[in-house]
């Protein structure tokens, strides 16, 4: 009686455990996991775009990790090594790529490289127009100078949903070429993403409609394409990664006072100290908006709301 009960209690867990072990042993990775395209992108929003179009067939990593600055980023040796497994690299022409692109390409000769800016009407980077007496802490080394002279146009193309639609079309075509078996999925995902972007575009237009003051003050001018699409003017504080010198700063403060700016926008990848100093001088507050958020649509809605709010709508 007793031994029988014990044996049942002992045996049952053993059987369950054995079943689990057998199950785990047989659970080979699903075909979807094996077949996934390995894709690297330069910045986080691009990761979101590739995932929107690629769905379950892609595994995407962003080179510039969260919290880091694409203007000064250096890929880690681990990231460069991981490129040997990649099928595709999607570049956006952000400044670190001007220095690193050759290394990135040579890490894997078979890897395709898609330039997300192809066919996009690039604008030039906004600079504050109050003289050239920069006194910033950066751009002193040769490498920094190279970063800045190598920049061709404003690299922050993804802040415009209209441009993202174009980029999504190129991503779709590239994925179909690399993985024609899932062409239907890529087309369907692309269509859904375009619908999302169209809705986003309409929402932003509605949020910014009737905002009387179309100018907004921003530390790092990452919002040029957004501003161009929605009839806004970004007024940058820094220029090409450098803080303005004392003369430019005085002029800027005078200008901000005249325009009665209530908010200075900063982004998390930059030290807000300098913007806070300007804000104090003009009695404005500092508000953070992030051009590198992976949560693309919700983030852009928040940005439109913040700009409308700062303008007093």
In the bound complex, what is the minimum distance in angstroms from residue 222's beta carbon to Zn ion? 4
C-beta nearest to Zn ion: residue = 222
In the bound complex, what is the minimum distance in angstroms from residue 159's beta carbon to Zn ion? 10
Q: Which is nearer to Zn ion, 58 or 222 (CB)?
A: 222
Q: Which is nearer to Zn ion, 100 or 190 (CB)?
A: 100
Q: Which is nearer to Zn ion, 48 or 108 (CB)?
A: 48
In the bound complex, what is the minimum distance in angstroms from residue 196's beta carbon to Zn ion? 24
Q: Which is nearer to Zn ion, 164 or 222 (CB)?
A: 222
In the bound complex, what is the minimum distance in angstroms from residue 30's beta carbon to Zn ion? 39
Task: Return the closest-CA partner of residue 267 out of 310, 236, 297.
Answer: 236
The contact set with Zn ion (CB under 5 A) reads: 222
Q: Which is nearer to Zn ion, 82 or 138 (CB)?
A: 138
In the bound complex, what is the minimum distance in angstroms from residue 163's beta carbon to Zn ion? 15
Per-residue 3-state assignment (H helix, E strand, C coil) for the chain:
CHHHHHHHHHHHHHHHHHHHHHHHHHCCCCHHHHHCEEEEECCHHHHHHHHHHHHHHEEEEECCCCCCCCCCCCCCHHHHHHHHHCCEEEECCCHHHHHHHHHHHHCCCCCEEEECCCCCCCCCCCCCCCCCCCCCCCCCCHHHHHHHHHCCCCCCHHHCHHHHHHHHHHHHHHHHHHCHHHHHHHHHHHHHHHHHHHHHHHHHHHHHCCCCCCEEEECCCCCHHHHHHCCCEEEECCECCECCCHHHHHHHHHHHHHCCCCEEEECCCCCCHHHHHHHHHHCCEEEECCCCCCCHHHHHHHHHHHHHHHCCC
In the bound complex, what is the minimum distance in angstroms from residue 204's beta carbon to Zn ion? 20
Phi and psi of 112, rounded to 5°?
Answer: -75, 150
In the bound complex, what is the minimum distance in angstroms from residue 253's beta carbon to Zn ion? 23
Q: Which is nearer to Zn ion, 54 or 236 (CB)?
A: 236
- 195 by Cβ neighbours in 10 Å (0-12 / 13-18 / 19+) ranks as exposed
Q: Which is nearer to Zn ion, 93 or 161 (CB)?
A: 93
């Amino acid at each position: 009686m007793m031994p029988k009960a014990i044996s049942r209690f002992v045996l049952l867990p053993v059987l369950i455990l054995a079943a689990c072990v057998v199950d785990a042993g047989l659970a080979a990775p699903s075909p979807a996991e094996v077949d996934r395209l390995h894709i690297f992108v330069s910045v986080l929003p691009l990761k979101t775009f590739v995932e929107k179009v690629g769905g379950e067939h892609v595994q995407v990593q962003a080179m510039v990790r969260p919290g880091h600055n694409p203007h000064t980023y250096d890929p880690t040796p681990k990231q460069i090594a991981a490129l040997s497994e990649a099928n595709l690299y999607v570049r956006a022409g952000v400044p670190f790529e001007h220095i690193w692109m050759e290394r990135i390409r040579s890490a894997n000769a078979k890897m395709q490289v898609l330039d997300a800016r192809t066919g996009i009407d690039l604008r030039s980077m906004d600079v504050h127009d109050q003289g050239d007496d920069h006194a910033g802490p950066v751009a002193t080394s040769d490498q920094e100078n190279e970063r800045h002279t190598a920049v061709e146009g404003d690299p922050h193309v993804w802040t415009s949903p209209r441009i993202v639609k174009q980029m999504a079309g190129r991503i779709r075509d590239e994925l179909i070429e690399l993985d024609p078996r899932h062409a239907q999925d890529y087309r369907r995902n692309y269509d859904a993403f375009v619908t999302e972007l169209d809705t986003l575009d309409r929402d932003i237009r509605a949020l910014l409609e009737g905002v009387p003051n179309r100018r907004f003050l921003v530390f790092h001018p990452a919002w040029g394409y957004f501003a161009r699409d929605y009839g806004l003017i970004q007024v940058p504080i820094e220029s090409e990664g450098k803080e303005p010198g004392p003369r430019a700063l005085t002029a800027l403060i005078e200008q901000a006072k005249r325009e009665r700016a209530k908010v200075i926008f900063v982004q998390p990848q930059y030290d807000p100290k300098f913007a806070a100093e300007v804000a104090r001088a003009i009695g404005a507050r500092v508000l953070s908006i992030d051009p590198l958020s992976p949560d693309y649509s919700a983030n852009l809605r928040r940005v439109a709301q913040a700009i409308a709010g700062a303008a007093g709508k």
